[in-house]
Structure 1
Amino acid sequence: MVVFDIDGVVRDVAGSYRRALADTVEQFTQGQYRPTMAEIDALKAEGCWNNDWKASEELVYRFCKAQNLERPTIDYSALVDFFQSRYRGQDFSGYIQNEPLLMTRAYLEQLTQANIAWGFFSGATRGSASYVLEHRLELESPVLVAMEDAPGKPDPTGLMATVETLREGQDSNLSLTVFYVGDTVADIQTVINARSQYPNINWIGVGVLPPHAQDSPEYAQKLKEVGAIATLNNVQDLTPELMQSFDHG
């Protein structure tokens, strides 16, 4: 079976989540600092900032420290509300409505025809994740574990919960290979942590380069250093045939 992250894998979030993150940092530094895409990538590469609200807060703190300013007291709920006003907007009228899709429904149907079960484990909110899966991709009640359902990555609890839902009714003693496809260090670290916590499953991490990072050898190298078996330019390059070669490689 294969489990997909959503942001940077199913949809391009450079002009939505990343833009909202930069807007939020700019807002909470009173216009003094707006992080670049490279700076956001560098933070994400640390592996512990999968939550964009927390990442926004951290970049504000780091800017103030670099400028020898007093550490600000941030109203976290106000920060989240501002971020969501930009990203989600009123009735999904924000940046979310313009996210380019990186996956098609036909690709998922190809996996189904190859007897490969699939689902989603994402740090996105359930509302945001459901919007892209059910409204944009027109999937009917896909298996999804979202932000509200499990601890944040790289904790593998949510990944395992997705797998357990996908294999309901199956013999749990049968050998199982699970691919997890993600675009960040935290995604791949989740696979590494799953191996130690759930050793009865063969876990394989596959990196996908988000569109804004496809010309960055450093980005791909970082994913491989953490443990990705490969880095692909598009999630749909992970064909059933390629999965089989990885599983038996």
Structure 2
Amino acid sequence: MTASNLDKSANRALAIVVFDIDGVVRDVGGSYRRALADTVEQYTNGAYRPSQVDIDTLKSEGVWNNDWEASQELVYRYFEKQGKNRTEIALDYQNLVAFFQSRYRGPNPKNWTGYICTEPLLLASNYLETLTLAGIPWGFFSGATRGSAEYVLCKRLGLKSPVLIAMEDAPGKPDPTGLLATVQLLEQQFSAPETTAVIYVGDTVADMYTVEKAKLLQPNRLWIGVGILPPHVLQETSQQLEAYTANLKQAGAKIILPNVQDLTAAKIQELIAGENPA
């Protein structure tokens, strides 16, 4: 069953749920993040390979959701520490992107054999079915390219034409345009009123900032940010785990969960009730 099977009486829906993809639907610790580290290492001539903590520290700034731009920024910062000015660094962004993609997708753009092929899934399609059966519309807003997002959603999870706003469709987070567009598509598809509560599920500070910015644009509806701890964080030290959790909370996360599938229909009902006490 897919979202398209949801009863059109979704105006009774408890909430609309929108999911980020990377770190929520799939584990990108060995794919996107590995490609990012490869790219920084390549463009610093092998002198610097960022750790997961280095990447987390950068992303905690809330503006580096795009991993191509994050790679470029880490390269710049490395050379700045060596006393160079950014204007002195010969860095071709398009070449950097091409290198990144050659690692993430593989050298053949039509036959992907790169890191993307090994990404563990963090949810099962039957989890989404439980939301559908509970009358909860759901969709996806991600900074991943449409090809990458559809690879995991359609090829890996077997979803049929899910509602999706990807990199090519909207400005990068924390700009809320893509989130608002996803919600609008779900409202139209399921005849949900414009006052339906929205839950955005993400794993980064930028995701939570996106929810906060959406609140400013549409203050007449309830917006809830749900933080997910990505797998690489769960494998780090307790101190790093606490720091990551604190950053999500400070950015606006209402709750933080170790896995997206912990966001059950019952948990969603609990969240909504908590924000709308009788």
Q: TM range, normalised to the smaller chain? A: over 0.9
Q: Deviations over 1:18-49 (max 9, x none)?
A: 00000000011111110011000000000000
Give the aligned partner of residue 29 of structure 2.
14
Find runs of 4+ consecutive structure 1 residues off by over 3 angstroms.
169-174
2:121 is aligned with 1:101: yes
Q: 90, 97, 117: which one pairs with 1:80?
A: 97
Q: Deviations over 1:44-70 (max 9, x none)?
A: 000000000000000000000111134
Q: 71, 80, 103: which one pairs with 1:56?
A: 71
TM alignment of 1:1-249, pairs within 5 A: 1-71=16-86, 72-89=89-106, 90=108, 91-168=111-188, 173=193, 175-214=195-234, 215=236, 216-249=241-274
Q: Deviations over 1:57-116 (max 9, x none)?
A: 000000001111343121110000000000011222100000000010000000000000
Q: Deviations over 1:188-214 (max 9, x none)?
A: 000000000111221100000000112
Distance 1:69 1:58 in 2: 14
Distance 2:188 2:261 in 1: 26
Q: What residue identity is the alignment partner of 1:163? A: V
Please state how far the C-alpha of 1:175 moved relative to its aligned partner: 2.5
Segment of structure 1 superposing worse, 208-217 or 14-23: 208-217
Count how many residue pairs are aligned between Structure 1 and Structure 2.
249
SS in 2 for 1:231: strand
How big is the alpha-carbon RMSD for the aligned residues of Structure 1 and Structure 2? Answer: 1.1
Contact 2:137–2:190 (CA under 8 A) maintained in structure 1: no
Give the aligned partner of residue 10 of structure 2.
none
Q: TM-score, normalised to structure 2's length?
A: 0.87
SS in 2 for 1:248: helix
Distance 2:190 2:229 in 1: 33
Segment of structure 1 superposing worse, 209-218 or 111-120: 209-218
Q: What residue identity is the alignment partner of 1:219? A: Y
Give the aligned partner of residue 12 of structure 2.
none
Q: What residue identity is the alignment partner of 2:252? A: G
Q: What residue identity is the alignment partner of 2:256? A: T
Unaligned runs of 5+ in 2: 1-15
User: Structure 1 174/19 Cα, relative in aligned 2: closer, same or farther at 3 Å?
Assistant: closer
User: Structure 1 92/42 Cα, relative in aligned 2: closer, same or farther at 3 Å?
Assistant: same
SS in 2 for 1:229: strand
Unaligned runs of 5+ in 1: none
User: Structure 1 166/44 Cα, relative in aligned 2: closer, same or farther at 3 Å?
Assistant: same
Contact 2:208–2:251 (CA under 8 A) maintained in structure 1: yes
Mark the structure with the bigger radius of gyration: 2
User: Structure 1 173/99 Cα, relative in aligned 2: closer, same or farther at 3 Å?
Assistant: closer
SS in 1 for 2:178: helix
Distance 1:170 1:233 in 2: 30
Distance 1:57 1:156 in 2: 23
SS in 2 for 1:84: helix
Distance 2:190 2:202 in 1: 26
Distance 1:100 1:145 in 2: 22
Please state how far the C-alpha of 1:173 moved relative to its aligned partner: 4.9
